[in-house]
Chains A and B, each alone.
Chain A
Amino acid sequence: MSTDFAVELEVRDVGAGSAVIVLPGAFGIESRFDDVDDFYPGCRVITVTHPGFGKLKRPEWCESVEDLAYIYMDFIERLGLQRVTLVGFSFGGWIAAEIALRRPTWLDRLILVDNFGLRGGDREDRSTPDLFAMTLAEWREIAFFDAGVGEKFFGSAGRSDEEMLSIARAQEGLAVYGWQPYLHDPKLERRIGRIKVPTLVLWGGEDRIASPDLGRRIASAIPDACLAIIEGAGHFPHLDRPAEFREQIDKLGITTP
């Protein structure tokens, strides 16, 4: 029986200083934008591409958010990192929450940004719209507060085949891990209060994919959490409102030992 979690990962590792691990969202190319690294000055920023979202083949056994959590915990332990700030956007935030629940000793701080993992509403509410039933244009429309920003980051016009392929792969990855239960784990809401590290919950005030109400619920469930709602931002507050996003991160003083 193999118990090996040493999965080859696509990683972008830049800068030096305190360790920041970024688990990106579920849409393929947002983790590759250069300015994503600029949010954490004076840090070593390691951004991963989730197995199944990039060019490397997803291991057959890796088919749940929990599997991803174990892969990343193993990865961080092998790097020998200590005092890690873990940042999870959207789908990546769901993985980050699962990691934090397992209380790894190296985890110092958690930042959750418009994350999946919980759902709102009753059984007949589709609290997150059916992303698998949308065209890319429809998705852009609800994902961004500012249509121009959506067009800049996810417009298909002028997009290279490689970038489009990256989006297509990410959509498949999202289906692998989030098809059913749809983009959430029914157990997570009960468990999330067991996260003990200091947590910043950052949310786009106009997020139409994951409602700010979810952010409020998460922040109130985690004992050592604070909530920052960024107005005039959708599902990607760091893209819609980069200055405001950076201001929130700066307040944390991550670079201070």
Chain B
Amino acid sequence: MKYWYFSECAYPYLPPEEEYDSIRVTLPNGYMDPVKAADLWHRYIDEWQAAEGYGLGLMINEHHSTATCANPSAPIIAGILARATTTARILILGNPIANRPDPVRVAEEMALIDVISRGRLECGFVRGVPYEISATNTYPIDMSARFWEAHDLILKAWTTHDGPFSWTGKFFEHRQVNIWPRPYQQPRPPVWVTTTTPSGSAKIAEHGHTLATFLVGKNMARTIFGNYRTRRKEMGLETSVDKLAYCGLVFVADSEEAARKGSQELMWYATANKVKAPFQVPSGYMPPEARLRMLAGDARDPNALKAFSQDELIDQAIMFSGTPDQVYNQIKTFYDYVGGFGNLLIMGQAGFLGHKQTVRSMQLFSESVAPRLDILHPGIPQRLSA
């Protein structure tokens, strides 16, 4: 199994929740102290460097207009890590390509990171969560078609080396596509695509990309992975476990008590997510049937994590938390339940979880959990670095 350390890089020093409508889109950035933000950013980068030292891959994401994730540009942080690390693979998960106006620019940025890192980029593409619509003024209609057209254009830009080609699609037009630099990896960096719904699996499977799903729990993960395997089988192809990835909240501590305390901090990711309804379910982002009850004013947070207790999160395999033994058993149980997967995305820091505990958790994971999980697939190259 491959392991990827991930933090959303929150800015957690906020006023009481009652004082604002929404942590996303409308929370004034006057609440941010730039000096504290600088300290946090240096710390978060240190943590990715520590993760490299423990043999973990590095995963980066981005969000916009939100204190839950103070990273509006995954490519910038990936560019920093490309130079500040030497061996770890760098996973951007991902580029919100239905929201970005110019896919050729994305292709260029990714190629540059791949070159600087000497071929360590894993390039993810994501549709983007609903809250991103207003934050980026993205047209919420036909996002899936726009996503896949951007994907096709980026892959062609990476793999065309005999001069410019022309692109006139439904969404993007570019008459001279000819990126410099080209990617370091040949023919191109590995591609990942996320989905949180069962219907999203088939197309990812058809392309043979790595499918990642986030915090969806054991039943949904089983369905999503199952649909990927089914589609591959229909095409007469196998599914290698390294094409499947799952992201959970992960916290490992020396004692159960310390684990519970740290996990509670990690749950800030879910509990702090106060979002105004129109930003949760924007017009056009999902079928009107799915938006129906929101209009009546009784919308449930689609990110229902907020309502779960720590034990429920663990039971649902949304969180893996405890001593190394406990975490190993939780992941092993989940692994068997979903039919195996080859990438664990470790959401290992959130909110006020401190640097020391964060790094201790990754150390325990690396030294006392990972070696036991590695045995599950002895044929697959394991550690990414170290």
Tell me whether B25 and A136 are in contact (CB under 8 A). Answer: no
B132 to chain A, nearest CB (A): 13
Question: Which residues of chain A are near B289, meaning CB under 8 Å?
Answer: 165, 168
Q: With an 8 A cutoff between CB atoms, is B247 at the interface? A: no
Tell me whether A172 and B295 are in contact (CB under 8 A). Answer: no
Question: A135 CA to B137 CA in the complex, in Å?
Answer: 18
**Would you give the 0/1 interface string for B269-284, flagging 1 where the beta carbon is closer than 8 Å to chain A?**
0000000111100111
Q: With an 8 A cutoff between CB atoms, is A243 at the interface? A: no
Chain B interface: which of A175-183, A211-219, A222-230? A175-183
Q: With an 8 A cutoff between CB atoms, is B141 at the interface? A: yes
- Interface of B, helix, strand, loop or mixed by DSSP: loop
Tell me whether A134 and B278 are in contact (CB under 8 A). Answer: yes
Q: With an 8 A cutoff between CB atoms, is B288 at the interface? A: yes
The number of residues on chain A lying at the interface, defined by a beta carbon within 8 Å of a beta carbon of chain B, is: 23
Tell me whether A156 and B297 are in contact (CB under 8 A). Answer: yes
Tell me whether A137 and B278 are in contact (CB under 8 A). Answer: no
Question: Which residues of chain A are near B76, meaning CB under 8 Å?
Answer: none
Q: With an 8 A cutoff between CB atoms, is A164 at the interface? A: yes
Q: With an 8 A cutoff between CB atoms, is B308 at the interface? A: no
Q: Total A-B residue pairs with C-beta atoms closer than 8 Å? A: 66
A110 to chain B, nearest CB (A): 29
- Interface of A, helix, strand, loop or mixed by DSSP: helix
Question: Which residues of chain B are near A4, meaning CB under 8 Å?
Answer: none
Question: A159 CA to B277 CA in the complex, in Å?
Answer: 19
Tell me whether B139 and A136 are in contact (CB under 8 A). Answer: no
A166 to chain B, nearest CB (A): 9
Partner of B295, one of A130, A132, A167, A179: A167
Query: Most chain-B Cβ atoms within 10 A of its Cβ — which of A130, A167, A168, A174?
Result: A168
Q: Give A136's nearest chain B residue, CB to CB.
A: B295
Q: With an 8 A cutoff between CB atoms, is B203 at the interface? A: no
Tell me whether B296 and A174 are in contact (CB under 8 A). Answer: no
Question: Which residues of chain B are near A161, meaning CB under 8 Å?
Answer: 292
A168 to chain B, nearest CB (A): 4
Question: A2 CA to B279 CA in the complex, in Å?
Answer: 37
Question: Which residues of chain A are near B100, meaning CB under 8 Å?
Answer: none
Interface positions of A (Cβ within 8 A of B)? 63, 130, 132-137, 156, 159, 161, 164-165, 167-169, 171-172, 174-176, 179-180
Give 17 pairs: A residue, B residue, CB < 8 Å, sorted on A. A130-B134, A132-B134, A132-B282, A133-B26, A133-B134, A133-B278, A135-B276, A136-B295, A136-B297, A137-B297, A156-B296, A164-B293, A168-B283, A168-B289, A168-B295, A171-B295, A174-B283
